[in-house]
Amino acid sequence: MKLFIVFVILLFTFPIISTAQKYNPFPDSLGFWRVEYHDIDCLMGGSAFCEDYQYLLKGDTVISSKSYKKIYMKGMHRYQIASNVYGWSHWDSSYIGGLFDDTLNKRVYYVPKNSINDTLLYDFNLNVGDTLPQSYSYDISYGVQDTIIIDTIDSIQIGNIFAKRFHLDRAGFGKEYLIEGIGSTLGLLERITSFFEHSYSLECFRNGNLAGFVKYDTTTCDLIVGRSELTRENDTRISINPNPITGTSLLNIEGNLTENYSVVIFNSFGQKIIELTNPNKQATIRSKDFTSGLYFLVLYSDGDTEAIKFVVN
């Protein structure tokens, strides 16, 4: 009877161990990561240090006789228009480097654009108590940092499978992880640091059409559309002629706009002077309606902004 019980225990234990140790690889193609970056001032609305961007795996490239998945990046960043006035500007998709997933040794490598040398990005052979190794994502020369240690290991469900998750004891606010097949809770190529004054956050990871990791809600899994991906007739351009304004000048808005758009004029101190919703695409600006000085005209449309400076004499 005792032999039978031991046999049953062994029979059911080995498959569980084998499944638990199976490595969850990175996507072969169509991998998607959406990341947000901000500092404390940005969260309070008083800084331009905010970015919202995404990585896409698309196609292969051969570097030094090794095949890598090509990584493309695009997104948008917040920029300062005038004092206390900020807008968002898009940058278009561009190739930034290659990703190699060594599934046998459970290590991931990254080679930057215009380089032929790759560097360790992630090592998923770690155990509890191990120090995070030097890598592209954890570079001890990147500012002053504490040593980061793996203090717990568990798993997280990604779609229909479970992937190992490694808790990083001193990273950020203490809630950051490495995750097999994804990278980290900071993103794909983001630096793992002990800083908390500024931070990266992985909002969504998707493997093909499957959203495997969503931080808040599925809207963060939407693709960011770059300016060059819009049709030519949808590109918006604003101009004021003549500029500087002495007497009258013509404001001209070219291109198709969304159903609800607005034009706002700020003075050089960031104070709102005029706000118009869905104005005519051509309008006259008269110098007598303003005091002399520098102004900023901002067009808000579909989450994007276009800004132009003008001077009133």
Which CATH number belongs to the domain containing residue 280 in this structure? 2.60.40.3080
Q: Per the structure block, which two tokens stand in for 217?
A: 């809600």
Q: Is 133 among the domain residues?
A: yes
Q: Is 157 among the domain residues?
A: yes
Residues 6 or more apart whose Cβ sits within 8 Å of residue 122: 107, 108, 135, 137, 178, 183, 184
- Number of domains the chain is built from: 2
Q: Are 161 and 45 members of one domain?
A: yes
Q: Is 8 among the domain residues?
A: no
Q: Are 148 and 167 members of one domain?
A: yes
Round the average pLDDT of the chain to a whole number and report it: 79
| 52 vs 225: CA distance, rounded Å | 12
More confident residue, 280 or 304: 280
Q: Is residue 2's pLDDT more than 60?
A: no
Q: Is residue 303's pLDDT more than 70?
A: no
Q: Which domain holds residue 237?
A: 230-312
pLDDT average, residue stretch 29-53: 74
Residues 6 or more apart whose Cβ sits within 8 Å of residue 10: none
Q: Is 23 among the domain residues?
A: no
Q: Is 224 exposed, middle or buried (0-12, 13-18, 19+ CB in 10 A)?
A: middle
**pLDDT bracket for residue 42 (50, 70, 90):** low
Q: Are 45 and 71 members of one domain?
A: yes
Q: Is 14 among the domain residues?
A: no
**pLDDT bracket for residue 145 (50, 70, 90):** low
pLDDT the model gives residue 102: 96
User: Residue 110 in contact with residue 136, Cβ under 8 Å?
Assistant: yes
Q: Is the peptide bond before 15 cis (omega within 30 degrees of 0)?
A: no
pLDDT the model gives residue 41: 64
More confident residue, 136 or 146: 136
Q: Are 199 and 275 members of one domain?
A: no
pLDDT the model gives residue 200: 86
Q: Is 209 among the domain residues?
A: yes
> pLDDT (tens digit, 9 = 90+) per residue, 160-210?
788 899 999 988 777 899 999 999 999 999 988 876 656 788 988 988 756
> pLDDT (tens digit, 9 = 90+) per residue, 209-265?
565 666 655 556 766 654 444 333 445 578 889 999 999 999 988 776 666 788 888
Query: Strand (E) positions, the chain?
Result: 31-39, 50-63, 66-82, 85-102, 107-112, 119-123, 150-158, 161-168, 177-179, 183-184, 198-207, 210-214, 237-241, 248-254, 261-267, 272-277, 282-286, 293-301, 304-312
Q: Are 209 and 249 members of one domain?
A: no
Q: Are 177 and 47 members of one domain?
A: yes
285 Cα distance to chain centroid:
39
Q: Are 171 and 293 members of one domain?
A: no
pLDDT average, residue stretch 108-131: 95
Q: Are 252 and 302 members of one domain?
A: yes
Q: Are 177 and 283 members of one domain?
A: no
Q: Is residue 141's pLDDT more than 90?
A: no
Number of Cβ within a 10 Å radius of residue 157 = 10
Q: Are 194 and 48 members of one domain?
A: yes
* End residue of a domain, out of 221, 252, 285: 221
Q: Is residue 40's pLDDT more than 80?
A: no
* End residue of a domain, out of 204, 221, 238: 221
**pLDDT bracket for residue 6 (50, 70, 90):** very low
- When mean pLDDT is compared across 164-168, 269-273, 295-299, the lowest value belongs to 269-273
C-alpha neighbours within 13 Å on the C-beta side of residue 188: 27
Q: Is 201 among the domain residues?
A: yes
Q: Is residue 132's pLDDT more than 60?
A: yes
* End residue of a domain, out of 157, 192, 221: 221
User: Residue 162 in contact with residue 155, Cβ under 8 Å?
Assistant: yes
pLDDT the model gives residue 230: 38
Q: Are 162 and 86 members of one domain?
A: yes
**pLDDT bracket for residue 127 (50, 70, 90):** very high
| SS3 call for 235 | coil
Q: Are 149 and 46 members of one domain?
A: yes
pLDDT the model gives residue 129: 96
Q: Is 210 among the domain residues?
A: yes
- Confidence (pTM): 0.69
